[in-house]
Amino acid sequence: MNAATVDFDTMPASLRRDGGRAIATVKRAPPVSPFAPKRRRLDARTIAKVLKFSEQLGQIDANESAMFLRSLLYIMPQPYEFKYPDIRYADIWPVNYSVPTGATTHGYHEYDELGTAQIADNYGDNAPNAERVGYEVTGNIYSLRSEYSYSIQDLRSQAFSGIPLDAMKAITARRIIERKCDALAATGDAVRGFTGMANATGITAVTASTKTAGGLRWGTLSGSTVTQNATANEILNDVNTLLDGVFVTTKGTHKPDTLVLGTQNFAIVSTLRLDNFNMTTIGAYLLSSLPWLKSIEYWPQLDTAGAGSLERILCAQRSPENFQLIIPQEFEQFAPQQQNLVFKVPCHKRFGVPQVRFPKSISFMDGTV
Protein backbone atom coordinates (compact mmCIF):
# COMPACT_ATOMS: atom_id res chain seq x y z
CA MET A 1 0.00 0.00 0.00
CA ASN A 2 1.51 3.29 -1.04
CA ALA A 3 1.87 5.95 1.62
CA ALA A 4 -0.20 9.06 1.05
CA THR A 5 -0.86 12.31 2.79
CA VAL A 6 -4.33 12.19 4.23
CA ASP A 7 -6.40 14.20 6.66
CA PHE A 8 -6.37 12.36 9.99
CA ASP A 9 -9.88 13.57 10.82
CA THR A 10 -11.30 12.23 7.59
CA MET A 11 -9.33 8.96 7.50
CA PRO A 12 -11.45 5.86 8.12
CA ALA A 13 -11.00 4.31 11.57
CA SER A 14 -9.83 1.03 10.03
CA LEU A 15 -6.86 2.82 8.54
CA ARG A 16 -5.81 4.83 11.53
CA ARG A 17 -3.97 1.89 13.20
CA ASP A 18 -2.86 -1.49 12.08
CA GLY A 19 -1.41 -3.28 15.01
CA GLY A 20 0.18 -0.13 16.21
CA ARG A 21 1.95 0.31 12.88
CA ALA A 22 1.24 3.33 10.80
CA ILE A 23 0.32 2.52 7.28
CA ALA A 24 -0.05 6.15 6.07
CA THR A 25 1.51 9.50 6.61
CA VAL A 26 -1.11 11.40 8.58
CA LYS A 27 -1.53 15.25 8.34
CA ARG A 28 -3.93 16.90 10.70
CA ALA A 29 -5.90 19.94 9.58
CA PRO A 30 -5.05 23.17 11.47
CA PRO A 31 -7.50 24.05 14.26
CA VAL A 32 -10.35 26.38 13.24
CA SER A 33 -11.14 29.44 15.39
CA PRO A 34 -14.75 29.53 16.66
CA PHE A 35 -14.82 33.23 15.66
CA ALA A 36 -13.79 32.73 12.06
CA PRO A 37 -16.57 33.37 9.45
CA LYS A 38 -18.22 30.32 8.14
CA ARG A 39 -17.53 29.56 4.53
CA ARG A 40 -20.22 28.27 2.25
CA ARG A 41 -19.59 26.28 -0.84
CA LEU A 42 -20.78 27.92 -4.09
CA ASP A 43 -22.20 24.79 -5.54
CA ALA A 44 -24.58 24.74 -8.50
CA ARG A 45 -27.65 25.03 -6.28
CA THR A 46 -26.38 28.18 -4.51
CA ILE A 47 -25.41 29.84 -7.81
CA ALA A 48 -28.91 29.16 -9.19
CA LYS A 49 -30.50 30.86 -6.17
CA VAL A 50 -28.31 33.95 -6.64
CA LEU A 51 -29.22 34.21 -10.33
CA LYS A 52 -32.94 33.89 -9.59
CA PHE A 53 -32.81 36.70 -6.97
CA SER A 54 -30.99 38.94 -9.46
CA GLU A 55 -33.82 38.46 -11.97
CA GLN A 56 -36.41 39.38 -9.33
CA LEU A 57 -34.74 42.75 -8.64
CA GLY A 58 -36.07 44.05 -11.94
CA GLN A 59 -39.63 42.91 -11.12
CA ILE A 60 -40.33 44.64 -7.77
CA ASP A 61 -43.49 46.72 -7.61
CA ALA A 62 -43.79 50.53 -7.66
CA ASN A 63 -43.90 50.99 -3.90
CA GLU A 64 -40.73 48.97 -3.41
CA SER A 65 -38.88 50.59 -6.31
CA ALA A 66 -39.77 54.10 -5.06
CA MET A 67 -37.69 53.48 -1.97
CA PHE A 68 -34.67 53.14 -4.22
CA LEU A 69 -35.53 55.79 -6.84
CA ARG A 70 -36.44 58.47 -4.29
CA SER A 71 -32.90 58.47 -2.96
CA LEU A 72 -31.72 59.42 -6.48
CA LEU A 73 -34.21 62.30 -6.97
CA TYR A 74 -32.85 65.87 -7.14
CA ILE A 75 -35.36 68.71 -6.54
CA MET A 76 -34.62 72.01 -8.27
CA PRO A 77 -34.32 74.89 -5.76
CA GLN A 78 -36.50 77.21 -7.89
CA PRO A 79 -40.26 76.55 -7.45
CA TYR A 80 -42.58 76.97 -10.43
CA GLU A 81 -46.20 78.09 -10.16
CA PHE A 82 -49.13 77.76 -12.52
CA LYS A 83 -49.64 80.76 -14.76
CA TYR A 84 -52.90 82.69 -15.09
CA PRO A 85 -53.96 85.55 -17.41
CA ASP A 86 -52.53 88.94 -16.54
CA ILE A 87 -54.52 91.20 -14.23
CA ARG A 88 -54.50 94.49 -16.16
CA TYR A 89 -57.35 96.69 -14.96
CA ALA A 90 -55.06 99.09 -13.08
CA ASP A 91 -52.64 99.29 -16.02
CA ILE A 92 -55.33 100.33 -18.52
CA TRP A 93 -57.87 102.44 -16.64
CA PRO A 94 -57.37 105.38 -14.26
CA VAL A 95 -57.78 104.36 -10.61
CA ASN A 96 -58.89 106.65 -7.78
CA TYR A 97 -57.48 105.73 -4.37
CA SER A 98 -58.62 108.90 -2.57
CA VAL A 99 -62.00 107.65 -1.31
CA PRO A 100 -61.77 107.07 2.48
CA THR A 101 -61.83 103.42 3.45
CA GLY A 102 -64.72 104.03 5.84
CA ALA A 103 -67.05 105.24 3.07
CA THR A 104 -69.87 102.95 1.99
CA THR A 105 -70.79 104.87 -1.16
CA HIS A 106 -69.02 107.26 -3.50
CA GLY A 107 -70.37 109.85 -5.88
CA TYR A 108 -69.89 113.04 -7.82
CA HIS A 109 -71.92 116.03 -8.96
CA GLU A 110 -72.67 116.40 -12.64
CA TYR A 111 -73.79 119.68 -14.19
CA ASP A 112 -75.40 120.49 -17.52
CA GLU A 113 -76.20 123.70 -19.34
CA LEU A 114 -79.64 124.84 -20.52
CA GLY A 115 -80.68 127.78 -22.58
CA THR A 116 -80.08 129.47 -25.92
CA ALA A 117 -79.26 132.86 -27.31
CA GLN A 118 -81.09 134.95 -29.91
CA ILE A 119 -80.40 137.94 -32.02
CA ALA A 120 -81.66 141.03 -30.29
CA ASP A 121 -83.83 143.47 -32.25
CA ASN A 122 -83.91 145.89 -29.36
CA TYR A 123 -82.86 146.10 -25.75
CA GLY A 124 -86.09 144.71 -24.31
CA ASP A 125 -86.37 142.66 -21.17
CA ASN A 126 -87.21 139.28 -22.73
CA ALA A 127 -83.74 137.75 -23.22
CA PRO A 128 -83.55 133.93 -23.06
CA ASN A 129 -82.47 132.60 -19.71
CA ALA A 130 -79.23 130.61 -19.28
CA GLU A 131 -79.37 127.96 -16.59
CA ARG A 132 -77.33 125.16 -15.11
CA VAL A 133 -78.82 121.97 -13.71
CA GLY A 134 -77.03 119.53 -11.46
CA TYR A 135 -77.28 115.83 -10.70
CA GLU A 136 -75.77 113.64 -8.05
CA VAL A 137 -74.47 110.29 -9.21
CA THR A 138 -73.58 107.69 -6.59
CA GLY A 139 -72.27 104.15 -6.52
CA ASN A 140 -71.81 101.54 -3.84
CA ILE A 141 -68.56 100.30 -2.39
CA TYR A 142 -68.21 96.58 -1.80
CA SER A 143 -65.90 94.51 0.34
CA LEU A 144 -64.07 91.67 -1.34
CA ARG A 145 -63.02 88.90 1.02
CA SER A 146 -60.84 85.85 0.97
CA GLU A 147 -58.86 83.93 3.53
CA TYR A 148 -56.16 81.34 3.84
CA SER A 149 -55.44 78.92 6.66
CA TYR A 150 -52.75 76.65 7.98
CA SER A 151 -52.63 74.12 10.79
CA ILE A 152 -50.14 73.48 13.57
CA GLN A 153 -48.78 70.58 11.56
CA ASP A 154 -48.45 72.84 8.49
CA LEU A 155 -46.20 75.15 10.51
CA ARG A 156 -44.09 72.25 11.70
CA SER A 157 -43.85 70.83 8.20
CA GLN A 158 -42.89 74.28 6.92
CA ALA A 159 -40.06 74.52 9.45
CA PHE A 160 -38.90 71.05 8.48
CA SER A 161 -39.07 71.48 4.70
CA GLY A 162 -38.12 75.15 4.42
CA ILE A 163 -41.08 75.85 2.10
CA PRO A 164 -42.76 79.19 3.04
CA LEU A 165 -46.29 77.81 2.88
CA ASP A 166 -47.94 80.74 4.70
CA ALA A 167 -46.37 83.32 2.37
CA MET A 168 -47.40 81.32 -0.70
CA LYS A 169 -50.99 81.11 0.53
CA ALA A 170 -51.03 84.86 1.21
CA ILE A 171 -49.96 85.55 -2.38
CA THR A 172 -52.69 83.23 -3.64
CA ALA A 173 -55.36 85.00 -1.55
CA ARG A 174 -54.30 88.38 -2.94
CA ARG A 175 -54.31 87.18 -6.53
CA ILE A 176 -57.80 85.73 -6.12
CA ILE A 177 -59.10 89.09 -4.92
CA GLU A 178 -57.27 90.96 -7.68
CA ARG A 179 -58.74 88.66 -10.34
CA LYS A 180 -62.20 89.46 -8.96
CA CYS A 181 -61.43 93.19 -9.23
CA ASP A 182 -60.30 92.66 -12.82
CA ALA A 183 -63.61 90.98 -13.69
CA LEU A 184 -65.69 93.63 -11.90
CA ALA A 185 -63.81 96.41 -13.69
CA ALA A 186 -64.64 94.81 -17.04
CA THR A 187 -68.31 93.83 -16.80
CA GLY A 188 -69.47 94.62 -13.26
CA ASP A 189 -71.81 92.32 -11.36
CA ALA A 190 -75.29 91.52 -12.65
CA VAL A 191 -76.51 90.35 -9.23
CA ARG A 192 -75.45 93.60 -7.55
CA GLY A 193 -76.79 95.61 -10.48
CA PHE A 194 -73.76 97.53 -11.75
CA THR A 195 -71.72 97.49 -14.94
CA GLY A 196 -68.05 97.82 -15.81
CA MET A 197 -65.96 99.56 -18.41
CA ALA A 198 -66.85 97.14 -21.23
CA ASN A 199 -70.63 97.32 -20.78
CA ALA A 200 -71.25 100.68 -19.15
CA THR A 201 -74.59 102.31 -19.90
CA GLY A 202 -74.39 104.82 -22.74
CA ILE A 203 -71.14 103.79 -24.42
CA THR A 204 -71.34 103.87 -28.22
CA ALA A 205 -71.76 100.65 -30.20
CA VAL A 206 -70.30 100.54 -33.72
CA THR A 207 -70.45 97.77 -36.34
CA ALA A 208 -67.55 95.99 -37.99
CA SER A 209 -67.40 95.94 -41.79
CA THR A 210 -67.94 92.83 -43.88
CA LYS A 211 -64.60 91.49 -45.04
CA THR A 212 -63.66 90.44 -48.57
CA ALA A 213 -62.98 86.91 -47.31
CA GLY A 214 -66.44 86.86 -45.71
CA GLY A 215 -67.78 87.62 -42.25
CA LEU A 216 -66.64 90.25 -39.79
CA ARG A 217 -63.61 88.50 -38.33
CA TRP A 218 -60.11 89.94 -38.37
CA GLY A 219 -58.65 86.44 -38.19
CA THR A 220 -58.49 83.28 -36.17
CA LEU A 221 -55.90 82.07 -33.70
CA SER A 222 -55.41 78.31 -33.38
CA GLY A 223 -52.68 77.43 -30.93
CA SER A 224 -49.72 79.54 -32.03
CA THR A 225 -50.94 79.91 -35.64
CA VAL A 226 -52.68 83.12 -36.71
CA THR A 227 -54.84 82.93 -39.83
CA GLN A 228 -55.69 86.33 -41.28
CA ASN A 229 -59.23 86.89 -42.51
CA ALA A 230 -59.16 90.67 -42.95
CA THR A 231 -56.70 92.74 -44.92
CA ALA A 232 -54.73 95.53 -43.28
CA ASN A 233 -57.03 98.11 -44.89
CA GLU A 234 -60.14 96.33 -43.59
CA ILE A 235 -58.76 96.28 -40.04
CA LEU A 236 -57.80 99.95 -40.44
CA ASN A 237 -61.37 100.75 -41.51
CA ASP A 238 -62.78 98.99 -38.44
CA VAL A 239 -60.46 100.90 -36.12
CA ASN A 240 -61.38 104.14 -37.89
CA THR A 241 -65.03 103.30 -37.23
CA LEU A 242 -64.22 102.90 -33.52
CA LEU A 243 -62.41 106.25 -33.47
CA ASP A 244 -65.32 107.94 -35.24
CA GLY A 245 -67.66 106.39 -32.68
CA VAL A 246 -66.03 108.64 -30.11
CA PHE A 247 -64.82 111.68 -32.04
CA VAL A 248 -67.73 112.15 -34.43
CA THR A 249 -70.41 111.15 -31.92
CA THR A 250 -69.15 113.79 -29.45
CA LYS A 251 -68.54 116.43 -32.15
CA GLY A 252 -64.82 116.37 -31.40
CA THR A 253 -65.25 116.80 -27.66
CA HIS A 254 -63.44 113.53 -26.98
CA LYS A 255 -60.38 112.44 -28.95
CA PRO A 256 -59.84 108.69 -28.46
CA ASP A 257 -56.23 107.73 -27.76
CA THR A 258 -56.43 104.12 -26.54
CA LEU A 259 -57.46 100.91 -28.30
CA VAL A 260 -58.10 97.96 -25.97
CA LEU A 261 -58.28 94.48 -27.54
CA GLY A 262 -58.78 90.94 -26.38
CA THR A 263 -55.86 88.57 -26.59
CA GLN A 264 -56.71 87.12 -30.01
CA ASN A 265 -57.09 90.41 -31.87
CA PHE A 266 -54.05 91.80 -30.05
CA ALA A 267 -52.01 88.84 -31.30
CA ILE A 268 -53.28 89.47 -34.83
CA VAL A 269 -52.38 93.18 -35.01
CA SER A 270 -49.06 92.62 -33.19
CA THR A 271 -47.72 89.83 -35.38
CA LEU A 272 -49.23 90.07 -38.86
CA ARG A 273 -47.48 92.28 -41.40
CA LEU A 274 -49.19 94.70 -43.75
CA ASP A 275 -48.18 92.55 -46.72
CA ASN A 276 -45.46 90.19 -47.91
CA PHE A 277 -43.19 93.09 -48.87
CA ASN A 278 -43.49 95.21 -45.73
CA MET A 279 -42.05 94.30 -42.33
CA THR A 280 -44.35 96.74 -40.47
CA THR A 281 -47.02 95.04 -38.39
CA ILE A 282 -50.64 96.09 -38.51
CA GLY A 283 -50.43 97.39 -34.94
CA ALA A 284 -47.41 99.58 -35.67
CA TYR A 285 -49.16 100.89 -38.76
CA LEU A 286 -52.29 101.77 -36.76
CA LEU A 287 -50.24 103.74 -34.23
CA SER A 288 -48.35 105.62 -36.93
CA SER A 289 -51.24 106.42 -39.25
CA LEU A 290 -54.32 107.08 -37.10
CA PRO A 291 -54.80 110.48 -35.50
CA TRP A 292 -54.90 110.64 -31.68
CA LEU A 293 -54.20 106.92 -31.21
CA LYS A 294 -51.30 106.56 -28.77
CA SER A 295 -51.64 103.11 -27.24
CA ILE A 296 -52.86 99.62 -28.11
CA GLU A 297 -53.51 97.48 -25.04
CA TYR A 298 -54.71 93.94 -24.43
CA TRP A 299 -57.09 92.90 -21.67
CA PRO A 300 -57.92 89.18 -21.26
CA GLN A 301 -61.26 90.14 -19.72
CA LEU A 302 -62.42 91.33 -23.16
CA ASP A 303 -62.07 87.82 -24.60
CA THR A 304 -65.61 87.00 -23.42
CA ALA A 305 -67.07 90.49 -22.80
CA GLY A 306 -68.90 90.79 -26.12
CA ALA A 307 -72.17 89.44 -27.47
CA GLY A 308 -72.28 85.65 -27.35
CA SER A 309 -69.37 85.70 -24.86
CA LEU A 310 -66.99 86.60 -27.69
CA GLU A 311 -64.30 89.24 -27.84
CA ARG A 312 -65.15 92.94 -27.55
CA ILE A 313 -62.94 95.84 -28.69
CA LEU A 314 -62.94 99.14 -26.78
CA CYS A 315 -61.76 102.53 -27.96
CA ALA A 316 -61.57 105.39 -25.47
CA GLN A 317 -60.09 108.70 -24.50
CA ARG A 318 -58.19 107.61 -21.42
CA SER A 319 -58.59 110.32 -18.84
CA PRO A 320 -59.54 110.32 -15.12
CA GLU A 321 -62.05 113.03 -15.95
CA ASN A 322 -63.96 110.65 -18.23
CA PHE A 323 -63.95 107.51 -16.08
CA GLN A 324 -62.32 106.06 -12.98
CA LEU A 325 -62.10 102.85 -11.05
CA ILE A 326 -62.62 103.31 -7.32
CA ILE A 327 -60.33 101.53 -4.81
CA PRO A 328 -60.91 102.90 -1.28
CA GLN A 329 -58.92 100.14 0.40
CA GLU A 330 -56.06 98.15 -1.06
CA PHE A 331 -55.47 94.52 -0.14
CA GLU A 332 -54.96 93.90 3.56
CA GLN A 333 -54.67 90.84 5.77
CA PHE A 334 -55.41 90.58 9.46
CA ALA A 335 -53.90 88.73 12.38
CA PRO A 336 -54.30 84.94 12.33
CA GLN A 337 -57.39 83.70 14.14
CA GLN A 338 -56.99 80.36 15.86
CA GLN A 339 -59.78 77.80 15.66
CA ASN A 340 -58.77 74.60 17.42
CA LEU A 341 -55.49 73.62 15.73
CA VAL A 342 -56.00 75.77 12.62
CA PHE A 343 -55.08 79.42 12.07
CA LYS A 344 -57.25 81.41 9.64
CA VAL A 345 -56.03 84.69 8.11
CA PRO A 346 -58.84 86.95 6.78
CA CYS A 347 -58.00 89.07 3.71
CA HIS A 348 -59.92 92.12 2.53
CA LYS A 349 -60.14 94.79 -0.16
CA ARG A 350 -62.70 97.51 -1.01
CA PHE A 351 -63.90 98.07 -4.58
CA GLY A 352 -66.30 100.76 -5.72
CA VAL A 353 -68.67 100.75 -8.69
CA PRO A 354 -66.71 102.21 -11.66
CA GLN A 355 -67.49 105.83 -12.43
CA VAL A 356 -68.11 106.35 -16.15
CA ARG A 357 -68.90 110.06 -16.14
CA PHE A 358 -68.73 110.54 -19.90
CA PRO A 359 -69.83 107.27 -21.53
CA LYS A 360 -69.57 108.76 -25.02
CA SER A 361 -65.82 108.85 -24.56
CA ILE A 362 -65.90 105.05 -25.09
CA SER A 363 -66.96 103.07 -28.17
CA PHE A 364 -67.06 99.32 -28.62
CA MET A 365 -67.24 96.76 -31.44
CA ASP A 366 -68.22 93.07 -31.40
CA GLY A 367 -68.02 90.35 -34.04
CA THR A 368 -64.36 90.58 -35.03
CA VAL A 369 -63.60 87.16 -33.44
Quick: pLDDT tens for 161-194. 888 888 999 999 999 999 999 999 999 999 999 9
The answer to whether 183 and 197 have CB atoms below 8 angstroms apart is no
The CATH number given to whatever domain includes residue 341 is: 3.30.2400.10
34 falls within a domain: no
Instruction: Judge if 342 and 311 occupy the same domain.
Output: no
Q: DSSP string of 256-272?
A: --EEEE-HHHHHHHHH-
Q: Tell me if 296 is assigned to some domain.
A: yes
Cα within 13 Å of Cα(271), Cβ side: 15
**Is there a single domain that holds both residue 294 and residue 352?**
no
Query: Are residues 275 and 330 part of one domain?
Result: no
* Shared-domain flag, residues 139 and 288: no
pLDDT, tens only, 84-116 = 999 999 999 999 999 999 999 999 999 999 988
Q: Answer yes or no: do 235 and 319 share one domain.
A: yes
In a shared domain, residues 292 and 335: no
| Residue-range definition of the domain harbouring residue 168 | 89-120+128-193+325-356
Please tell me the total count of domains within the chain.
2
Q: Kind and range of the H or E element at 149?
A: strand 131-151
| Same-domain check for residues 219 and 268 | yes
Q: How far from chain centre, in Å, is Cα 367? A: 26
Instruction: Answer positive or negative: Cα dihedral of 357, 361, 365, 369.
Output: negative
The CA distance from 184 to 197, in Å, is: 9
Evaluate whether residue 312 is within a structural domain. yes
Q: 3 pLDDT band (50/70/90 cuts)?
A: very low
Structure confidence by residue, pLDDT tens digits, 81-92: 888 999 999 999
Tell me which H or E stretch contains 56: helix 44-57
Say if residue 308 is in the same domain as residue 234.
yes
Flag whether 60 is in a domain. Answer: no
- Among residues 138, 110, 158, the alpha carbon closest in space to that of 358 is found at 110
Q: Is residue 30 part of a domain?
A: no
Rounded CA gap, 316 and 301, in Å?
16
The answer to whether residue 290 is domain-embedded is yes
In a domain, 13, yes or no: no
pTM of the model: 0.78
In a domain, 307, yes or no: yes
Residue 343: pLDDT band by 50, 70, 90 thresholds?
very high
Tell me: the pLDDT tens digits for 233-288?
999 999 999 999 999 999 999 999 999 999 999 999 998 888 888 889 999 999 99
Q: Is 221 helix (H, G, I), strand (E, B) or coil?
A: strand
Q: Are residues 349 and 209 in the same domain?
A: no
350: which residues sit within 8 A by CB, 6+ positions away?
101, 141, 142, 143, 144, 327, 328, 329
Tell me: do 167 and 104 sit in the same domain.
yes
What's the pLDDT score for residue 146? 96
CA 353 to mean position of chain CA atoms: 24
Question: Which segment of 24-33, 240-249, 313-322 scores lowest on mean pLDDT?
Answer: 24-33
Answer yes or no: do 173 and 282 share one domain: no
pLDDT-derived band at 202 (thresholds 50, 70, 90) equals: very high
CA 13, chain centre distance (Å): 93
Total residues belonging to the chain:
369
Clarify whether residues 229 and 171 are in a common domain.
no
